[in-house]
Amino acid sequence: MSELITLTLPDGSTREMPRGTTGADVAASIGPGLLKAALAARVDGELVDLHRPIVTDARLALVTAKDEADALELARHDFAHVLAEAVQSLFPGTQITFGPSTDDGFYYDVAPPASRGPFTEDDLPAIEAEMRRIIGANKPLRREEWDRAALIAKWQQQGETFKAEWAADLPGGEALSVYWSGDNWFDMCRGPHLPSTGRLDPAAFKLTRVSGAYWRGDQANAMLSRIYGTGWLNKKQLDAHMTRLEEAAKRDHRKIGQEMDLFHLQAEAHGSVFWHARGFVIYRALEAYMRRRLDAAGYLEVKTPQIMDARQWEQSGHWGKYRENMFVIPDEVPNVDDDGPVISDKAQWMALKPMNCPAHVLIFRQGIKSYRDLPLRLAEMGCCHRNEPHGALHGLMRVRQFTQDDAHIFCREDQIVGEIARFCDLLDVVYKDLGFSDYAIKLALRPEKRFGTDAMWDWSEQSMRDAVKATGRDNADWGWEELPGEGAFYAPKLEFHLTDAIGRTWQVGTIQTDTVLPERLDASYIAEDGARHRPVMLHRAILGSYERFIGILIEHYAGRFPVWLAPVQAVVATIVSDADGYAQHVTEALQKAGIRSETDLRNEKINLKVREHSLTKAAYMLVVGRREAEEGTVALRNLAGGEQTVLPLAEAIALLKAEATPPDLRA
């Protein structure tokens, strides 16, 4: 065997290097500047440590801070390990479990020593200081493979019961690796890592909070302390992120929802929203807008049952794949006597629907369908229930009861590309109408656990690619990206990720091709050849759920909605009581024109009224006094900011009516 291997670099050039060479060796052979900048390497596409030996011919790319996604992943992973080391250094007896990187940072779950209670935010400054000491020590990070039994024994010897359990449960054929931080601390990890702790910027992280977390996510297990942090490549990135967090806190939909009296949630209905009158105005305006868009796009709106028999969910596959997220209901009259169980062991089971798709197939199956009937687009503002864990619930963003802007398109194979393209165009119009011109399109590919054959998945995934290509959106301008393993268990899907006013992304819309459910539920149509064929089913949503999308809208606009969505579009406020009658007349004229209006006749100074209605995010204020009453005018003030303008009442109404008209109804 040759002692040399050939490494192909990103520019196509090749280098012959000794077998067992490392990314660091290659960087050094190119120049000292690259060696200093290199953080890791990609070998045949796999991200590895800079000092991992390369033993065969391969494609090699050196990773630097310019490769921001990889560099951030490495840094955040290392920050998590430094956090764990710091906690054990400061608090001997603490057990470590595991800690991954996250979208904007990292966390680590630790078990506090018996001598103290859970960690709190008061502990964070000391932990941060110790982390900076470890980073400043520039400790080498070194990978080492261990025999399973020896590693388990080592963990047990150190009193690390969680790590010993984890090591024992890892797949038998998997090599167990640890990473040493210097020579005095190590953790079990697949890697990769930076070459040393000193490659982290000590000013580029901040510990943010502490919460409880169950070991392995199971409430029956021990409660741990989860310490969160945010980590970046440099202080400038950290500062920008902290500014975004401050802005996000100001825009928190739960805070604004309370200030604007839009909704509330309470323990008596975990994960279900109590919509107040003003909040339901937004809901209804959005729902009416979506109905008009769907009607114009050729959808037929249907309504399906909330509860269906478990046998139906078994047939669709949801009972086996999704049951832990379903609310299951016994089909039996409960026992009302004090003695005996409420429900017998003979009860048949039903379930609240977690999604609408099986019911839409049942509607499709009613009567004989011809190829001429396709595509058939069935839409439903469908109320669904999913049994989310209490700890996962979060305002409007994650709830148990929600309404989807759901639809399913039944079509022929030759219609798929056209239907997906039509959907992409409809979605584009809706997002732009709602104030989101910046969004990215991702293709989520087959997961490990799935229904269907590989051939079916090959065909479905390629159909999605072809459809996006047909719309000209399969490029960087549209954020096009493929996401391996992220598809649903029955189909690949296109995901649409919105970017909001402060740069956060939200995965909202989806469309999925599905040949599995029509097969399982025996849906068919008569084709042109006279034979029965299976339709392709396209599952699609634009908003996702009304609850979550309204939460996103609240935070995107910081509660100051465009006028057509604003709960209160105009407040008529008096300066003096002599104008009360005129103020009532103005309000009636506004309401007759379809403008959501209120009157404020309180004996308060006008500046107080302006301030209070600005806080509740009313869109406009029309100020009236004696002069306005005599002249038939109003002083119009945009409460989002701007100068006050005196206008004839009719002109002010025309201006407000134009802004209050939904975008799809404007000429």
7-24: average pLDDT: 94
Has 235 been annotated as catalytic?
no
Has 386 been annotated as catalytic?
yes
Indicate if the pLDDT at residue 162 is higher than 80: yes
Indicate if the pLDDT at residue 300 is higher than 90: yes
Which one of 386, 400, 556, 613 is the catalytic residue?
A: 386
Give the pLDDT score at 491: 82
274-303: average pLDDT: 98
Has 411 been annotated as catalytic?
no
Instruction: Return the structure tokens found at 267.
Output: 């323990």
Please tell me the distance from the alpha carbon of residue 593 to that of residue 317, in angstroms, as a whole number.
Answer: 51
Has 605 been annotated as catalytic?
no
Q: What is the pLDDT of residues 411-451, one digit of tens each?
A: 999 999 999 999 999 999 999 999 999 999 999 999 988 87
The proportion of the chain whose per-residue pLDDT surpasses 90, expressed as a percent, equals 84
Lowest model confidence (mean pLDDT) among 70-84, 161-175, 366-380, 611-625 = 161-175
27-43: average pLDDT: 94
Lowest model confidence (mean pLDDT) among 43-57, 370-384, 445-459 = 445-459
> Which residues does residue 109 pair with via DSSP β-bridges, in sequence order?
226
Which one of 251, 408, 534, 617 is the catalytic residue?
A: 408
Q: What is the pLDDT of residues 553-576, one digit of tens each?
A: 999 999 999 999 999 999 999 999
Q: At what angle do helices 454-470 and 416-433 cross, to 10 degrees?
A: 50
Confidence grade of residue 90 (pLDDT, cut at 50, 70, 90):
very high
Indicate if the pLDDT at residue 291 is higher than 80: yes
Between 115 and 321, the higher pLDDT residue: 115
Give the pLDDT score at 320: 82
Please tell me the distance from the alpha carbon of residue 508 to that of residue 496, in angstroms, as a whole number.
Answer: 6
Which one of 52, 278, 539, 556 is the catalytic residue?
A: 539
Lowest model confidence (mean pLDDT) among 117-126, 154-163, 331-340, 345-354 = 331-340
Strands, DSSP E only, in 92-249?
A: 95-96, 105-111, 141-146, 176-181, 185-188, 205-214, 223-231
Which one of 49, 187, 406, 474 is the catalytic residue?
A: 406
Indicate if the pLDDT at residue 587 is higher than 80: yes
Which one of 42, 163, 493, 534 is the catalytic residue?
A: 493
Has 408 been annotated as catalytic?
yes
**Non-local CB neighbours of 265 within 8 Å, separated by 6+ positions:** 271, 272, 273, 274, 395
65-87: average pLDDT: 96
Indicate if the pLDDT at residue 2 is higher than 70: no
State the residue for tokens 């310019």.
66
Which one of 357, 384, 411, 424 is the catalytic residue?
A: 357
Has 264 been annotated as catalytic?
no
Give the pLDDT score at 203: 97
Nearest to 273 by CA among 405, 393, 355, 381: 393
Between 495 and 2, the higher pLDDT residue: 495
Has 493 been annotated as catalytic?
yes
Torsion of CA 210, 212, 218, 221, to 10 degrees: 120
Give the pLDDT score at 339: 76
